[in-house]
Each structure stands twice: as structure tokens, then as C-alpha cells.
Amino acid sequence: MDFFEISSKYVNSLTKGERGLFDYVIKHMDEIKNKSIREVSAACFVSTTTFLRFVRKIGYTGYSEFTTVLKFTVKAKPKNTQASFVVDQKKYREEYLKNMIESVRVMESKKIELICHELAKKSRIVFFAKGISKQVATYAKYIYTVSGFEVLFPEDHLYRQTALVNLKEDDLIFVITYTGDDVELIKIVEKIKAKKDNQHRIISITGADNNPIQNLSDINLYIFTDEIERNSVDITSRVSSIVLMELILYQYFEGHKDIKKRK
């Protein structure tokens, strides 16, 4: 039993309020699994009736079944990042693929449509990323540039600070950070939002856990991945982030038939 396999097929039918409940469940799954419906409803600022209606809408007969599935899902998620490669290779490959599938399944169609709408009217895309996520931004810069967009990706601290000062009023901002808690990136987003003439749309790609960048963004997409650290260096896969950036671009192509695709 897996929460995402059961629930993700219902995501596109959720209302805005229900989508907020779905996001809350994903971010607080480990806490919710041991709480009563009264406690969870209070934390979400909805009635128990509303939360129970939501639970049934995403595929469960009741709250008990819902929490049981959460427990199995949390238990199945690898927690020892150092030992991730010790498990059977077939099992790890399945988890690797499952993470990408889950990342795509929880993408809300309305969010992607809104991002594509922004792409259609923005003159420039600006990426902010650090660490291993810079490789995602580098690849995204390439595919968006060859697709006809003007793209800026400041790769070091001084370049990022300069870019921040010289943002154009119609720039579309992407912040790519798995943890979502990098101090410099948080300050960058805060400064952008504090601009008096701020018209920027800030889109973030982060992990599913609640984090500052996610909360500061206008639109947040999140990924699932198994955290891996070797020799004190983060090598957690960012493939799901690349997948989301590709899907956004391909969705944009689909909505703009005049764009010639290479065969």
C-alpha cells in the first residue's frame, strides 16, 4: 500500500482548498500517521467533516485506512542515506523510478499551465541555484536557450548579487533547491519580493518537506528523492528536478504549435 499510488490519480480533480490539504499531508506525512482526525483537522484549520470528505475524495474509505496507508508509505521510505546503495540493486532501481514517477504525478496541471502562460509573456528567465542543483540549472539554461528564451544563470555568489540588483521587471524567476533552506537563496527571494515595483513570478522546485523557499514562492513544485551523502558530500539525485523543467518546456511547446520541434 502506497499513498501516492492510491491518491495521486485524484490530484487533478481536487479544488484549491483540497489541494492545500493534499500538500499538507505530503509535507507532514510522518506526523499525521499517528494523529487523530481532530488533531489533523485543527492543524489544517478545517472541520473534521471537511477533512474526512477530502480523505474519501483521494481514494480512502475512511480516516483509519488513510493513516494505515500513511504508516506503510513512511515505513517503506529509506531513512539511512549512507546505506542506500547497500540494498538490493533491483529494489533501489525501483525506488529511483518511483521517486521520478511520484514527482510527476503530483504536478498540478493548473500550476504548469500558469507557468507556461508566464513563459509566453516574459522576456527573460532567471535561474537561482547552488550546490548540485546548479547542474539542473545549467541543463535547464541550455534547453530553454536553444528553445528561443533569453536565460540568465548567475553561478557564483558575486554574480548572483549582481543579477539580483539588475533584474528586469518582467523576469521570470526559478529557484531550484532541494532542501529549500539555503540562507543566501532565502535572502535573494525575500529581496525580490520586497521590491516596490515587484512584478516577478517566483517559481521554486524543492523537496516535499515544508521549507522557507517553498513558502516564499508564488508557485512551488516539489520532488521526491532518496537523500544520499557520501564522504560528507551531498549526491542526492536531482533527476526529478530535471524532469520537471523538461515537462514544463514540453508543455509550453504543446500550447504553442508554431514552435518547430526538432525530429
Tens digit of each residue's pLDDT (9 = 90 or more) over 160-188: 999 999 998 889 999 999 988 899 999 99
Residues of the chain with pLDDT > 90, as a percent, come to 41
- Per DSSP bridges, beta strands 233-234 and 229-230 are antiparallel
pLDDT for position 88: 53
The Cα 95–Cα 162 span in angstroms is: 40
Mean pLDDT (whole number) for 203-220: 87
Question: Tens of pLDDT along 82-94?
Answer: 434 444 556 667 7
pLDDT for position 259: 46
Give the confidence band of 129 by pLDDT, cuts at 50, 70, 90: very high
Q: Is 193 in contact with 187 (CB distance < 8 Å)?
A: no
Work out the number of other CB atoms within 10 angstroms of the CB of residue 89.
Answer: 8
Q: Which amino acid is at 150?
A: E
The Cα 111–Cα 116 span in angstroms is: 9
Mean pLDDT (whole number) for 39-66: 89
Question: Tens of pLDDT along 191-210?
Answer: 998 887 767 889 999 987 77
Give the best-scoring range by mean pLDDT among 50-54, 74-78, 153-157.
153-157
Q: Give, as one character, the DSSP assignment of residue 8.
A: G
Does the CA dihedral 29-68-14-52 come out positive or negative?
Answer: negative
Mean pLDDT over each residue of the chain, to the nearest integer: 85
pLDDT for position 85: 43
Choose between 203 and 27: higher pLDDT.
203
**Hey, what's the cell of 158?**
558575486
